[in-house]
Amino acid sequence: MIADIERLVRCESPSDDLAAVARSAELVSRIGAGYLGVEAERIVIDGRTHLRWRFGSSPRVLLVGHHDTVWPIGSWGSHPFEVRDGVLRGPGCFDMKAGLVMAFHALAALAARSPGATPLTPGSPHPLDGVTLLITGDEEPGSTTSRELIEQEARQCAAALVLEAAGPAGALKTERKGVSRYEVLVRGRAAHSGLEPERGVNATVEAAHQILAVAALGDAARGTTVTPTRLEAGTTNNTVPASARFDVDVRVWDAAEQHRVHTSMRNLRAVVAGATVEVSGGPNRPPLSATASRDLFERAQRLAQGLGMRPLAQVAVGGASDGNLTAGVGTPTLDGLGAVGGGAHADDEHLLVAELPRRTELLTALVAELLAPQEGCPPGRNGDRHPVPADQLRGQNGWNHDRRD
């Protein structure tokens, strides 16, 4: 596993470098094929390369990961791959190339332990029948090209397991905030700031009014943050600015708050006479609610106990992932099943080597249980019982196929 992670870390894949992402996809596919026995299906959307392994014709369990990172080309020169004192370091190792390796090893172990026929036997089911593994190449900038693909795969499955890195002390991520992103464009009128400033309409002043109004939309009591981020305005230091723009990052725990903030953003109006305000953007990812992950976390907790692992913890986090998308279409979702460590996107990005086999064993057991035949299903060929169809399983334990929270 360490050798596989090193190969992926050394194949850099910053999200905005499409050629690098394509090279990374080829390596991920080769490594995956070595464990899964089949090449991935390559799906290229707007130049971004995504990979999909689908086993069988009736998807039930979706494993989701991404191979793009935030690290620019050359980062592993200043942040070299190393393993020292049980800690593995390297750009992108924790978020989330180790998670991909864990998925390959978990599925390979599951296939190897299957007592049934190999996929080469005519008419026999694949040992991983019902599993879909989807690895995207644009998660870090917001899954702009892969969103529809992720949602389409999730709608067909009874459960989604997200291989993002674990939370602090290895906690599974059972809640994530929803994300909205906006751009606010302000237009004014240029004028010489010394000779006739009164003829201008100052876009910077208007932007200041709007920034204060936007920041006031946050609600600390509800955990809602509305943060103006990047700001640009003006052209020269002696010209009344004719334009300005700023970005806004919104994080919310529930859909009602996401809707409230969206409505307020769309209703922004200019304050300075003669200025105009234009708002674009909107919700990027819905919240991942506790109800979407509750049953899967309880399953994982029970399986961990049976494997002799310490009790699992759970955590709610402000960062979003593709788990928000799978939960948003009503698919039960458990996130944070990847590496245990810390420092995502930071100089101290790392993972704990000793946790790799343990967490991979847990992932293997969880997938196996979700694929297992269910009591009460009609006998199939050779007396086997087919797993419950995804739509039926969604209706158990309070899962609602049409839920969008």
Is 144 a domain residue?
yes
Report which of 269, 293, 279 is spatially closest to residue 397, judged by C-alpha positions.
Answer: 293
Task: Write the CATH number for 338.
Answer: 3.40.630.10
CB-count exposure of residue 168 (10 Å: 0-12, 13-18, 19+): exposed
Looking at the structure, tell me whether residues 318 and 281 fall in a common domain: no
Residue 404 falls within a domain, yes or no? no
Residue-wise pLDDT tens for the chain (405 aa)?
999 999 999 999 999 999 999 999 999 999 999 999 999 999 999 999 999 999 998 999 999 999 999 999 999 888 999 999 999 999 999 999 999 999 999 999 999 876 554 544 444 567 899 999 999 999 999 999 999 999 999 999 999 999 999 999 999 999 999 999 999 999 999 999 999 999 999 999 999 999 999 999 999 999 999 999 999 999 999 999 999 999 999 999 999 999 999 999 999 999 999 999 999 999 999 999 999 999 999 999 999 999 999 999 999 999 999 999 999 999 999 999 999 999 999 999 999 999 999 999 999 999 999 998 765 443 332 333 334 444 443 433 333 333 333
317 and 375 together in one domain: yes
Query: Which stretches within 129-202 are classed as H helix?
Result: 147-155
Q: Which of 260, 285, 310 is a domain's end point?
A: 285
Looking at the structure, tell me whether residues 25 and 133 fall in a common domain.
Answer: yes
The answer to whether the beta carbons of residues 94 and 341 sit under 8 Å apart is: yes
Residues in the chain: 405
Q: How many domains, in total, are found in the chain?
A: 2
**Of 238, 263, 285, which residue sits at a domain end?**
285
Are 116 and 171 found together in one domain? yes
For residue 357, what pLDDT is reported? Answer: 97
**CATH code of 182's domain:** 3.30.70.360
Q: Is 89 a member of any domain?
A: yes
Going by C-alpha positions, the residue among 94, 71, 98, 65 that lies closest to residue 17 is 71
φ, ψ (nearest 5 deg) of residue 232: -135, 140
Q: How far apart are CA 405 and CA 382, in angstroms?
A: 41
Are 167 and 316 within one domain?
yes
pLDDT of residue 57: 85
Structural domain harbouring 295: 2-176+287-398
- Is 405 inside any structural domain? no
Q: What is the pTM of this model?
A: 0.85
